[in-house]
Amino acid sequence: MSESFVGRSPGPRVVPKPDGTLVAVSLGSNLGDREAWIASGVQALRRDLEDVRLSALYVTAPVLVEDQPLFLNACCTGRTRLTPHQLLSQLQDAEQAAGRDRTGPRFGPRTLDLDLLLYGDEVIEDSDLVVPHPRLRERGFVLIPLAEIAAEWIVPASRQEEAESVGSLAERVGSDGIRILGALDE
């Protein structure tokens, strides 16, 4: 990766860089045609991101709510000219378009789950959005695919955590219950 990312705390308003801000987004699905839902998520992301890089698909065991189907997971990176909150809104719109039902259990089954993991080197903590994603550092099903395409990206320090590379975090968390499936047929 040509850019160096070092954690810092932003001011109250985060704006994208003129040439776009590099972001990382996770994609997941465990209902219906999981691969088609992931593909629809990638298509939605391509409307708001440039220079998109997509990991392989991974089959992963559910976390927290275990009595549900296996997930397909992937990650992508790209540049956006949207603010973090604008991008979050676009992600939620794409989930809704895919029939995402938010009335069930919090970590239950879903057609499409899109999470904003990283927004450049920003640390954002407000009532609507926390970046880096608050559970990024503990989720192998996110870190393994993200390390495939952005292992050197430094996850910024937060109040509780030190800055550390995606690859280092992925090694520490490990890949138990995670199996690579292969490239997404777009």
CATH of the domain at 166: 3.30.70.560
For 81, the domain range is: 21-173
75 by Cβ neighbours in 10 Å (0-12 / 13-18 / 19+) ranks as buried
185 catalytic per annotation: no
> Among the listed ranges 7-16, 23-32, 50-59, 77-86, which one has the minimum average pLDDT value?
7-16
Catalytic entry in 34, 115, 137, 139: 115
115 catalytic per annotation: yes
Q: What is the pTM of this model?
A: 0.88
Name the residue with tokens 């709510």. 65
Catalytic entry in 110, 121, 137, 139: 110
d(C-alpha 77, C-alpha 54), whole Å? 7
> Among the listed ranges 52-56, 97-101, 111-115, 136-140, which one has the minimum average pLDDT value?
97-101
Which three-class secondary structure state does DSSP give residue 130? strand
172 catalytic per annotation: no
Whether 9 has a pLDDT exceeding 60, the answer reads no
pLDDT level of residue 67 (50, 70, 90 thresholds): confident
Structurally, the chain folds into a number of domains equal to 1
Number of H helices, E strands in the chain: 4, 10
* pLDDT for the residue 21: 96
The answer to whether residue 73 sits within a structural domain is: yes
100 catalytic per annotation: yes
The mean predicted confidence, pLDDT, of the chain is 88
